[in-house]
Amino acid sequence: MGTLLRGRRLRISIAAAALTAAAAIAALGGGALTAASAKAPVARTAAGKTVLHVAYGSTFVFLTPALAVKWWGTVAKEFEATHPNVTVQFEPIPGGYTDIVTKLSLLYRQSSTAPDVAELPAGQMGGWVSSGYLAPLDKFLPTAPWWKQFPQSVKAETTFNGHVYAVDHGENTNALFYNIPMFKKAGIPVPWHPKTWADMISAAQKIHKALPNVWPIWLQGGSAGGTIAIQYNGGNLLQGSTNPTIFDSKTNKWVVDSPGLRETFQFYISLAKGGLQAPVSQLLNPNAVDNVPALVSQQKMAIVVGANFYPEAWVKATCGPCWTAAPKIMGTAYFPTINGQAPGIASALGGWELAIGAHSANQSLAWDFIQTAQQRVNMITADNTGGWVPPAKNYWTDPLYVNYAPPFQAFFAGIMPKAVGEPNTPNFSVWGTGFNNATGAIVQNPNMTVQQAVDVMKSYVTQQLGSNMVETLK
């Protein structure tokens, strides 16, 4: 018995010692992790040349991975030609939106891995800035004539407390696509210019009656596509509502109930209840955002709440899929405000930015690289092959951009002055998930009421962020 107890005590002691050692390692590691990111910038060199470390999304950002490699390669070549003592080293990040954010946030934690230049989504800019990862670019901007061409809405995406932390690379705007032959069959006059949401519902009802096998309106809901899907779908409804406020900057609270949200949910309910929406499987498909250009080309839907990158996907250079007949079959119309009130059209705005690391030892070189990327041909080529509208207004009518996918390019560029960006503070993902949960519930349960949808969103966001972080607008 005594031996048994000694043996057991010994095993317990060994286990306790191991756990203590592990805790000590953890404590030391934690300290080391914090300390490393505060160290001085690390200058990287290779074969006697300065290395400029550039990180970008390799599979999600541009329309195809090959186009991303081609564009970044072109910019690097031009940059190295004018900077012979510098070599560009790329950090391509595969995967989707969340993978890019995760990988970049991990790279930024250490000076030795933090990129000098990074391609970041606009939606998370507030988080990057508050982390202390990005260098302010104010001192560089006077040398950038293209910056003066950016509309205020685009500049606002990367400006915090009066300082600019990144420059836009390309923006997405949204509008309505409609199938001209289907509209003609349903007896709806074309070209079609809906002035209110009621006009959209009315057209969808006529389509449903005349062509029962067609999906009348494509408007995605649910959380499968992530919060990025809001910008291409329900976010446009909210922008066109009577109260589009998502984050109240006066109170620093997230809006979980408002006339705008109720109008948005009511529109979703009208579609679901009237049999006017696409099949549930498609709407809740995690790949729905990327699949839409292909679905539109298959002519399954009459009206599409869509983005500028669809036509850029249809051209031969991208073939995502190839649909050269698109200009003859698909018409475009601005997404109207709910009652036709000013500004008359609605569009969410969001894009990708180029930023310099706060701990970069090569900030001037990094800026030179960005300047190369933002030159006319490079910027427009990025926007054509990345599926964006150029942020610089003098390029909206540039033939290099307009003629890439006519007549769609000019149309979507025309939306830029009125497009509005979504909040880019870190908790937008929580608010967005609550919004998606509500729209997903409506998509699946057409008999849901507006109050029930509001309750779904309110309870989720309140529980996640706390009641002191949310509010109701009357």
Partner 1 sequence: MTEGTVTGSLVSPGLAIPAGRRQDRVRFQRSSIPLLLPATILLVVLFLGPVAYSFYYGFTNLELIGPTATHYQFTGLTNFNQMVSDPIFGQSLYLTAFFVVGSGVIGATGIGLMLAIAMQSSLAVVRILIGALVVVCFMLPPITVAMVWYAASTAGGTLTTLFGSPSSDFLHSFPMVLVGAANTWSLAGLAMLLFAAALRNIPREVVESAELESATAVQRFFRITLPLLKPTILTTVLLMTLLSLANFTIVYIMTAGGPGTETMILPVYSYQQAFQFNHLAYGALIGDAMVLLATVVSFFYVRVSRARV
Q: Which residues bind partner 1 (CB under 8 A)?
A: 1-4, 7, 10, 18-19, 21-23, 25-27, 29-30, 34, 37-38, 98, 101-102, 105, 109, 124, 127-128, 130-133, 222-224, 226-227, 279-282, 284-286, 426-427, 429-430, 433, 437, 440-441, 444, 456, 463-464
Contact 343, 239 (CB under 8 A): no
State which residue, 25 or 319, has the beta carbon closest to partner 1: 25
Q: How far is the CB of 21 from partner 1 (least distance, A)?
A: 6
State which residue, 285 or 385, has the beta carbon closest to partner 1: 285
Looking at residue 416, its amino acid is: M
In this structure, how many other beta carbons lie within 10 angstroms of the beta carbon of residue 103?
16
Q: How far is the CB of 280 from partner 1 (least distance, A)?
A: 5
Q: How far is the CB of 427 from partner 1 (least distance, A)?
A: 8
State which residue, 128 or 147, has the beta carbon closest to partner 1: 128
Q: How far is the CB of 166 from partner 1 (least distance, A)?
A: 14
**Cβ-Cβ contacts under 8 Å for 263 (sequence gap 6 or more):** 197, 237, 241, 242, 338
Q: How far is the CB of 215 from partner 1 (least distance, A)?
A: 12
Cis peptide before 92 (omega within 30 of 0): no
Closest CA to 385 of 316, 437, 470, 451: 316
State which residue, 21 or 66, has the beta carbon closest to partner 1: 21
State which residue, 37 or 371, has the beta carbon closest to partner 1: 37
Contact 428, 247 (CB under 8 A): yes
State which residue, 320 or 440, has the beta carbon closest to partner 1: 440
Q: How far is the CB of 455 from partner 1 (least distance, A)?
A: 12
How far is residue 274's CA from residue 442's CA, in Å, rounded to a whole number? Answer: 12
State which residue, 5 or 46, has the beta carbon closest to partner 1: 5
Q: How far is the CB of 102 from partner 1 (least distance, A)?
A: 5
